[in-house]
A and B are shown apart, each in its own frame.
Chain A
Amino acid sequence: MTEYGMLIDYEYCTGCKTCEIACKQEYERPAGKVGGVEVTEFVHTLPNDKLFITNIPHFTRACVFCAGRVKQGLTPACVKHCMARVLTFGKIEDLVKLIPEKRKAILWTKG
């Protein structure tokens, strides 16, 4: 899956952690251990004293980019269920083309 990546439009990630559970359900992962994705919340006090909250989904070593689902023509479980629709899965070359359109994005690749 090296040519694949995950584009994260993190500006709108609400930190709802649906993606975490979607992955755990898909792969019947036990609680207490990390699944394919983990979301971290950052509460920042900006230099102008404005509070700003950012949530970043981190795709872990346990993420298999849903190879089985993708082979069947389905989107990854986390992408399908993401409540804020901030995850886009695809070929890196296609995702790169999407980046200029996105407001704020992270491109996650697995190497």
Chain B
Amino acid sequence: MKKDGVKIIKTTTWSPGPGCHGGCGILVHVKDNKVIKVEGDPDHPWNQGRLCSRCLSMTQYMYHKDRLRKPLKRVGERGEGKFEEISWEEAFDLIEEKMKKIRDDYGPESVIFHQGTGRDIGGWISMLAYAFGSPNWMFGLSGISCYTPRLMMMSITQGDFAVVDASQWLEKRYDDPEYKIPETVIIWGQNLPATCPDGFFGHWYVDLMKRGTELIVIDPRCTWIASRAKIWLQLRPGTDAALALGFIHVMIKENLINMDFIEKWTNSPHLVRTDGKIPVFLKEKDIREDGSDLNFVAHDAISGDFMIWDTTAQAYDKTGVKASMDGAFNITLANGSKASVKTVWTLYKENAEQYTPKKVEDITWVPAEKIRQAARMYAKAKPGALHWGLPIDTIPSTVPTSQALNHLWCLTGNLDIPGGNAIARYAFDVVTYPYHSGGAILSLPPEVMNKRIGIHDYGCIKDFRAWAQPDKVLEQIFSGSPYPIKGMWIQTANPIACTGMEPQKWHKAIKKLDFTVCVDLFMTPTAMLCDVILPAATFLEKDSLKAWWVPLNAIKKVVDVEECKSDIEINLELCKRFMKDFPFPNTRVLFDSLLKSAGITYQELCDNTWMLPPEGHPSKPYLRYERGLLRPDKKQGFRTPSGKIELFSSWLEKWGLDPMPYHEEPPYSHISTPDLFKDYPLILATGRRMGPFFHSEHRQIPWLREQQKEPVLEIHPDTARKYGIEHGEKVCVENWLGKITVKALVTPVIHPNVVMAEHGWWFPEKEGREPSLFGVWDVNVNQLIPMGHEGKAGLGAPIKSMLCKVYKAKG
């Protein structure tokens, strides 16, 4: 207790409220049960006392006059805006009745559980979906184009995720003697000071710059951080894989790779058959009748014999050997026939050989000489690190692109070293946000999981991520095949304004369903269409926990705001109603069970507020592959099929995808669609971050909204002149799918052939009822981006590389 009756409480952030991916430590000033001020906690190693504008606006957010404070039930037509306040008991009864009816009539899989981006929801919404019995837990962005592609690719390449090491695992941070400041960081497609993505605090890069880190920035826009970089590469949107392959080409040619690391830790010596239509691994079973399908084959440079890489023993079947890195061989198979094989490394070099700087310049618009300079600067850095952003996900070629970028830190040996790309696991292995259904709080039997939408279309949707594939979900809502979709539970998502590409279709889809619920903090264009709306609590009004990646953080309930309830409590109550013998009577029991792997209770976590994993724990760096900390069998190496970093990927081979990285032209471009390009000659990119807002949120928060009143289209002065557009004028942005009208921001920061439109806009102050829906249709750029263009793996979508034309709006 402080003077004037003000209490100061130490806690940490996650959504809802700031919106972002959270992790900052804060001090909350409370007076008379009301939050009066929020400040940064100087003792928290993550933000060290700082706090950005969204958390500093929390008082305006929590006590906003428009906040939903009571459950609402629709009484008029859908979208008519007629709602009636009901009690929580009535709301739960109504939801239970309606959803159970769908379950009885059509089966539990007929309800979709729809979430937005990765915040404090994954654990709780999957719990609800599975308690109800539906395998269709979904993130609605086309191609699941947000981090999942990169996570998937890291997981199958190196068995674990990785992020840049900005000393976030160390309590003393940059001053810890174990830490090394990266000499060079590549920032690939992210405007870092405006964002805190993927378990990372953007301004850590400013800390590093002041301590000597040099930057290479790859971005079609000149951001602040790009203007501070040693080298800025202004590439054509969607051609990132070609650029990365150009780097790899130069690094191999000029011998700038870490050959010791590659020989020891990658699958480069394993043999691949090259006599078929597509290259496939040679397995032990191919050369020995009783051979295993899990073991690989290599060539011994000493004896000239072939040998088996035994994946169980994580060793060759012979001793005193040296695996050949290079070479093409003929081998006799078990059935007596001959096959030609090459080492992965030989194939890999042949693949990279094609991507000469000149060829890459033609694809990417980045001058060949700059590609060479950047590749050298990164490869020579000790340590060097690579930070990648959302544009790697929001393209249909996301799989080969993520793969090529992941290889950059593997080929240079920058994996899991201080100041490199450190392997990132959930602190203490506590899962608050599951990726695979394995990590979820509840589970469903395989025959039910088998009904998950998309798993029969895409191998990696089946094997990697537990979500339903959203493009296929939307298709199925209209087709009703193989089974009908009748209900949708929407929580932390606003598909009409934000996550939905072709929102026109999502609008029809939501209205077509028998029953829809939206859980949110404000009325949104999406909530306006729903049957029941539940008022959610901010992070200051709920108990929760976070482990993404470190530290393990406690989120503590500080106050109540009227009848708002936390997402967790809402879901827990409904779980009890949907599932017999639901095992968690309350959130405490649930949290204690999630914290088992940390060996503490929720109360103990709250007493500490945050905890970093100790030395020797698998969730603490460095060099864990050497120390046997990554694999369940405690052997050295990685959690991949071969136990090695897979430059030629077993999983991609299994899924029928190209096992090595390659360039794939964006689906709409001057090359792919020259006819469309004649009418729509500008590349339309979207999704760049806006400091004061998180996606579609915060447009009603006065201190944030005054920073930017309306959406803009960034257009280069030369391009604006060509189309007779003046700065600040209203312009139409149009293509064959739709049209929006926004203000032109004429600026040299954007490439002359590209325009950048902001996403997530709607106007809480405008008419909410249909047809206006808060003015969303005037400005939502997603109307120009299609659904159903997911990449070959079911991941990625053309969100950053559409085509459009721009002209002065009339009147």
> Which stretch in B107-115, B359-367, B565-573, B701-709 binds the other chain?
B701-709
Q: Give CA–CA (A1, B130) in the complex, Å.
A: 62
Q: Using a CB-CB cutoff of 8 Å, which residues 25-60 of chain A contact chain B?
A: 25-26, 30-32, 43, 45, 50-53, 55
Q: Is B621 an interface residue (CB 8 A)?
A: no
Q: Does B459 contact A (CB under 8 A)?
A: no
Contact check, B203 vs A14: say whether CB atoms are below 8 A apart.
Answer: yes
Among B56, B692, B747, point to the contact of A81 (Cβ < 8 A): B56
Per-residue 0/1 for B703-728: is the Cβ within 8 Å of any A Cβ (1 yes, 0 no)? 11111000000000000000000000
Interface centre among A16, A77, A82, A84 (most CB of B within 10 A): A16
Is A80 part of the contact surface with B, judged by Cβ < 8 Å? yes
Smallest CB separation, A47 vs chain B (Å): 14
**Using a Cβ cutoff of 8 Å, how many contacts connect chains A and B?**
90
Q: Which secondary structure dominates where chain B touches chain A?
A: mixed
Residue of B nearest to A49 (CB): B748
Given contacts A53-B224, A80-B49, contact A31 B193 (CB under 8 A): no
Those of B17-69 within 8 Å (CB) of chain A: 37-40, 49-53, 56-57, 59
Whether, in the assembled complex, A15 has its beta carbon less than 8 Å from a beta carbon of chain B, the answer is: yes
Count residues of chain A with CB under 8 A from any CB of chain B.
Answer: 29
Known: A16-B203, A51-B222, A52-B227. A25 touches B691 (CB 8 A): no
- Known contacts A25-B38, A32-B702, A80-B49; is-contact A15 B56 (Cβ 8 Å): no
Decide if the interface of chain A is mainly helix, strand, loop or mixed: mixed
The interface bits of chain A over 1-31 (1 if a CB of B lies within 8 angstroms of the residue's CB, else 0) are 0000000000010111110111011100011
Interface positions, chain B 575-625, Cβ under 8 Å from A, are: none
> Is B209's CB within 8 Å of the partner chain A?
yes
| Residue A83 lies at the interface, judged by CB distance under 8 Å to chain B | yes
A85 close to B (CB within 8 Å): yes
Chain A residues with CB under 8 Å of B59's CB are: 25
Indicate which residue in B49, B206, B227 contacts A53 across the interface (CB closer than 8 Å). B227
Verify if B210 is at the interface (C-beta below 8 Å from A): yes
Q: B194: CB under 8 A from chain A?
A: yes
Inter-subunit contact A53/B222 (CB<8 Å):
yes
User: A85 — which chain B residues lie within 8 A by C-beta?
Assistant: 50, 206-207
A55 and B49 CA atoms in complex are apart in Å by 22
B448 contact set on A, CB distance < 8 A: none
Are A82 and B50 also in contact (CB < 8 A) when A12-B210, A17-B707 are?
A: yes
Q: Do B52 and A24 touch (CB < 8 A)? A: no
Flag whether B368 is at the interface (Cβ < 8 A). Answer: no
> Bound state CA distance, A21 and B55, in angstroms?
10
Q: Which residue of B lies closest to A24 (CB)?
A: B703
Q: How far is the CB of B795 from chain A (nearest CB, A)?
A: 31
CB neighbours (8 Å) of B56 from chain A are: 18, 21-22, 25, 81
CB atoms of B203 and A83 under 8 A apart = yes
Given A25-B56, A53-B222, A83-B203, also A16-B209 (CB < 8 A): no
Known: A18-B52, A18-B53. 9 other contacts (CB 8 A): A14-B224, A17-B707, A18-B50, A25-B59, A31-B705, A32-B702, A50-B227, A81-B56, A84-B193
Closest 4 CB pairs of A and B: A31-B702, A14-B193, A21-B53, A31-B706
Supply 5 A–B pairs (Cβ within 8 Å), ascending by A: A15-B224, A17-B53, A31-B705, A43-B748, A81-B39
